[in-house]
Structure 1
Amino acid sequence: MTSTSVAKEQIPALKALHGTFSITVLSSVGTFGRATRSGVQATVVGVTDLGRQRFQWREMLSQAWFLITVTAIPGVLMAVPFGVVVSAQVGNVVHQLGANSLIGAAGGLGVIKQGAPLATGLLLGGAGAAAIAADLGARTIREEIDALRVMGINPVQRLVVPRLAAMLIVAPLLNILIIFVGVLSGYIVAIGALDVTPGSYWQSFGAFASAADVWVSIAKSIVFGYLVVVIACQRGLEAKGGPRGVADGVNAAVILSVVAIVVVNVVITQLVALFLPVRVV
């Protein structure tokens, strides 16, 4: 068999592969567009409801409490080993360089600028996104969403906006909790295992860390929470195909949330490093 005939036989397979790739790209762009439109619509409706004093406060508080119950304890359990690992790993390197006084700065900044917002986003993207997507997906396949539309009730106003507001409230609170626990656990390891004096730890921490770092960390957690709730609501409201469709929607919501958080974190980190470099006070 000649090379020309082999190439001719591969043409249909290449066309099929190209067609599958094109469909995947178009589907991804369409999903991104629908999620963006859903996020913008929910934001506009939420601001409008606040102005007209018809915001769903009870639903928002219920969702916020639920998010706190499913993320607070895992957040603490996640912050403790993270603070310990950062202090231990950075402390060993710094100790070899003879600069033990910088352990507080390195460990504290690591927790504040990267560990806390990422841990917050991953927790909300795991537990929060799964719960929201499962709830809305189950409502969708039971045709409750269609029933709301028939009765003239906007599902975005009734279901999406309270969850969006709850997520934006819980995200910074969880981020602050993880910062506190992470820095405290790193401090305990530094003075207990690395022979760092408490004064030098907090002095170096205060010399390098600033209020701007904390605000950036909180802002990142809010952005991550916004991404999580928009993706979860969009996947839940588009669920179809029965229980299997709900499961697929939950799985897609968690995966897309984690990927979006990682990508956006890289972008924000580069922008912050460009405009707010670390400085010694």
Structure 2
Amino acid sequence: MEPASSTRQRGGTATALRIVRQNFSDIAIGSLRTFGRTVDLGVETLRGAATDIVGRKFQWREMLYQAWYLITVTALPAILMAVPFGVVVSVQVGNLIHQLGADSLLGAAGGLGVIQQGAPIATGLLLGGAGASAIASDLGARTVREEIDALRTMGINPVQRLVIPRVAAMMLVAPLLNILIIFVGIVAGYFVAIGAQNVTPGSYWATFGAFTVLADVWISLAKALLFGFLVVIIACQRGLEARGGPRGVADGVNAAVVLSVASIIVVNLVITQVVTMFLPIRVA
């Protein structure tokens, strides 16, 4: 006969594997359900915004108030992030191309790095950090105080009353913040190039204009808009589903920030690959 210890060991291993498999399946199913609810919220928000604009019921005052709040919490950090980013691109790329004897190409490298990648990613991260946390905490606090349930009891759609103005505000602020980061990053890289890399101003702007085309700017703005939409929808969904008092609000804020950053990185990778396939870098 087989020893009892071996039987117990095999039984414990089987139980552990069953628990791990069950937890993994629960997490996967729960993630898919959360993703589905987020998509439903996004579709409902877009449909409701279009209906409100056509029916002249859009909350312009609330949208402008939320937009101003987002600007106040992201404008200064955007400048502080854009300056070192432009400097780092100029220094690192400048050292490389200096060894190749192509110092005049620093303008093209700095422009493409800031416009195509740096500005939209920085915009998304700022909105995901400052904007998403503020929106998730606000809606989460309203949810745990049962204000959302009170709105539904009074026949008021919380998506129409709370979500749509915040989405519109984020879509307004995202491209403005992206343009600010582009301007500050390029200016910072320019001064570093002509001051520390011994690049002439004429060659810097000549290569910048030769390799950076208008399509790059439009793609950067489109990416900023998409990142802003992802951030605000995730933040609103996490806030509206907050449960368990202040701890639940804190968990919702944390989840909103983490999911926003992760989604921005993944979506940016996909967009970069698609753009590289259909719009490769070329001299204007």
TM-score of the superposed pair, with normalisation by structure 2: 0.97
Q: Does 1:232 align with 2:255?
A: no
Q: From 111, 116, 119, give the equivalent of 2:114.
A: 111
Structure 2 match to 1:87: 90
Q: From 156, 159, 165, give the equivalent of 1:153.
A: 156
Structure 2 match to 1:172: 175
1:204-253 deviation digits (Å, cap 9, x = unpaired): 00000000000000000000000000000000000010000000000000
What letter matches 1:94 in structure 2? I
SS at match of 1:21: helix
Structure 2 match to 1:260: 263
| Counterparts of 1:180 and 1:273, CA distance in 2 | 24
What letter matches 1:210 in structure 2? V
| Counterparts of 2:114 and 2:14, CA distance in 1 | 53
Residue 8 of structure 1: how far off its partner (Å): 3.8
| Counterparts of 1:7 and 1:56, CA distance in 2 | 63
Q: From 30, 34, 54, give the equivalent of 1:27.
A: 30
SS at match of 1:153: coil
> Which residues of structure 2 form unaligned runs of 5+?
none
Q: Does 1:195 align with 2:203?
A: no
Structure 1 match to 2:128: 125
| Counterparts of 1:234 and 1:160, CA distance in 2 | 9
What letter matches 2:18 in structure 1? K
What letter matches 2:276 in structure 1? A
Structure 2 match to 1:48: 51
| Counterparts of 1:160 and 1:144, CA distance in 2 | 14
Identity %: 68
What letter matches 1:139 in structure 2? R
What letter matches 1:81 in structure 2? P
Q: Does 1:37 align with 2:37?
A: no
Matches within 5 A, 1:246-257: 246-257=249-260
Describe the shift of the 1:113–1:2 C-alpha distance in structure 2 as closer, same or farther (beyond 3 A).
Answer: farther
Structure 2 match to 1:135: 138
The number of residue pairs the alignment matches comes to 281
| Counterparts of 2:69 and 2:227, CA distance in 1 | 18
1:157-192 deviation digits (Å, cap 9, x = unpaired): 000000000000000000000000000000000000
Structure 1 match to 2:207: 204
1:78-124 deviation digits (Å, cap 9, x = unpaired): 00000000000000000011000100000110000000000000000
SS at match of 1:49: helix
What letter matches 1:237 in structure 2? L
> Which residues of structure 1 form unaligned runs of 5+?
none
SS at match of 2:281: coil
| Counterparts of 2:90 and 2:50, CA distance in 1 | 42
Residue 7 of structure 1: how far off its partner (Å): 3.6
Residue 266 of structure 1: how far off its partner (Å): 0.2
Describe the shift of the 1:3–1:204 C-alpha distance in structure 2 as closer, same or farther (beyond 3 A).
Answer: farther
Structure 1 match to 2:166: 163
Describe the shift of the 1:269–1:2 C-alpha distance in structure 2 as closer, same or farther (beyond 3 A).
Answer: farther
| Counterparts of 2:14 and 2:45, CA distance in 1 | 46
- CA-atom RMSD in angstroms: 1.2
| Counterparts of 1:233 and 1:54, CA distance in 2 | 21
Q: Does 1:183 align with 2:186?
A: yes
